[in-house]
Structures are given as C-alpha cells and as structure tokens.
Amino acid sequence: MRKDISTPQYTRSIIDKHKFTFKKSLGQNFLIDRNILDKIVSTAGVTSETGVIEIGPGIGSLTEQLAKSAKKVTAFEIDQRLIPILKDTLLDYPHVKVIHQDVLEANLHEVIEHEFKDVEDLMVVANLPYYVTTPIILKLLTERLPIRGIVVMIQKEVADRLAAEPGTKSYGSLSIAVQYYAVTKSEVKVPKTVFVPQPNVDSSVISLTLREKPPVDVDDEAFFFELVRASFGQRRKTLLNNLQNNLFTKEQKPEIEEALQSVGIDGKRRGEALSIEEFAHLSNALLALKR
C-alpha cells in the first residue's frame, strides 16, 4: 500500500522527483498533516454521495483524502507544472478530474452542469491560495452556485473577518457580504508547521453553509452592499459622516438624518456597530434618496 501524499517524506520525494520549485506568488503552501486533512474532509461532510470542487490541488494531498470519501472530485489548478505531477500522484483515483485553469476565470455553472449532473450534494473544499482568498470566496457566493457549502483553509485573520460579529475589530463589509449568503463557523486554528514551505501567518479552517435565502429582506441588493461599503469607508468616522461623504452629498444631510430616524438608528454610531438587520432596514429606507 502506498503512503499518503501528505506524509512529509512522500511530499518531499514527489517534489524532488519532479524537481518542483514552490511559487510564493501562487500561494503554494502544501499540507503535510493527515489529521488536518481528515478534519477538513469531515467538516465538509463528504460522503459517497458528495461531489467536490477543489481549488488548487497542489500535488494532491487534500485531493487524495477527498477522493477516498467523495463520489467525484473536480479540481482547478492554475499552475501548469503541477498538471503532470497530479496525473502521477492521483493515478489510483479515476473519479478525480483536474482542470488546468484559474478558478476566477472558470464558468462554474457550466462545469457543475457538465461534471456533476448526477450529483445532488455538492461542496467546495480547498486549502486556498492566500493571495486570492477573498475574490474566490466572493465569486463562489455571489454566483449563487448549487452547492451546499464551502469548507476552506484560509489565513486566520481573514477567517476572523468572515465570521466576525458587530462591534468587533474584525467586523467589516466582508463579514456582512459573506454572512448575507452563508452561515459562517470557524472550525479549527491551524499552526504554520503543517505546511511546506511554512507560511508567515497562522491559518484557520472555516465552513460556510449556504443559506436558502438571505437572513434579511433587502429591496435592492446592489444598493445594500454599496451602503455597507460606504458605512465602513472611514472606520473612525460616524455613520452619518460616512454616508454623506461616500454615498450621498452634504446637501442631503437632512434627508439622511430623516431616514436614519425612521429606522431608529443613531447617525453618531459607527458602521462597525450596526448589525446586518440594521443595514438592511437602513438600505431600504435610504433607497428612495439614491434614486
């Protein structure tokens, strides 16, 4: 029986055999800890009925553990040099397909339609390249893919932002954007020592379970997100100041104050103190003013 790809010795031998050199610019930090891989797979609830989209398989450490449990795995890898390596390391898993493409450019609806026709339970699972974590997560959420959820290893600081509650330092427009689409849960903090090469930052595994519908009623989604971003424009400024400066004009101050009052929100508060419900009420009240 062959050893797991993720054992430090086997990872090293694959790297040596293929004379692979890590590209920092592609966020290449490979996992060498089987316990963490098992934790990712179990958190994602992968069963023989589950289809998995993986982003950035690297040399296949996570892919291999996913393939042992999943019905099918389709993985996007941007680095051409890894394609022949994956062909070698994943030889025993014919239900794994590797697509050589930048996931940000992929038409995921089309891939799902094509690759997962016979799959009812679909998950995205990845040890994400840290330089593009946010765009990838936002793409997965905003494209409203037919997936159950996302389980990813990301930089701990970003995981904290995704799961942050109002009034905390990490809470910002990204927290709201993500929590609008999904229920977030930080699952486990991961030390740097489980990667080669070791990154400079700590990591976390986070799960995002997609909501069937948003937690709040918003009349105009685009305007809601615009309002959220504007409210966090300058974190030290009050909500009223941020709204005047970033979304409306100083001349509109009386109308903004009126809208704030109508939903019972004090304009002297800071954006970071408002809950997603309060942002929803405020965006519905301010919408007429924007039009």
Q: How far is the CB of 140 from ligand SAM (least distance, A)?
A: 12
Of 61 and 175, nearer to ligand SAM (C-beta) is: 61
Burial-class residue 25 by CB neighbours within 10 Å (0-12, 13-18, 19+): exposed
Of 81 and 290, nearer to ligand SAM (C-beta) is: 81
Q: How far is the CB of 70 from ligand SAM (least distance, A)?
A: 15
Of 26 and 287, nearer to ligand SAM (C-beta) is: 26
Distance CA(110)–CA(218), nearest Å, equals: 29
Of 27 and 172, nearer to ligand SAM (C-beta) is: 27
Q: How far is the CB of 119 from ligand SAM (least distance, A)?
A: 21
**DSSP states of 23-83:** -GGGT--EE--HHHHHHHHHHTT--TTEEEEEE--TTSHHHHHHHHH-SEEEEEE--TTHH
Of 56 and 149, nearer to ligand SAM (C-beta) is: 56
Q: How far is the CB of 36 from ligand SAM (least distance, A)?
A: 9
In the complex, which residue's CB is closest to ligand SAM?
56
Instruction: Kindly report the backbone phi and psi dihedral angles of residue 288, in degrees, each rounded to the nearest multiple of 5, phi listed first.
Output: -60, -35
Q: How far is the CB of 77 from ligand SAM (least distance, A)?
A: 5
Long-range residue pairs from 106-114, CB within 8 A, at least 24 positions apart, any chain:
106/76, 108/53, 108/139, 108/140, 108/143, 108/145, 109/143, 109/145, 111/53, 111/74, 112/53, 112/145, 112/146, 112/147
Binding site for ligand SAM (CB under 6 A): 26-31, 55-58, 61-62, 76-79, 82, 102-104, 127, 129, 132
Q: How far is the CB of 21 from ligand SAM (least distance, A)?
A: 12
Of 56 and 172, nearer to ligand SAM (C-beta) is: 56
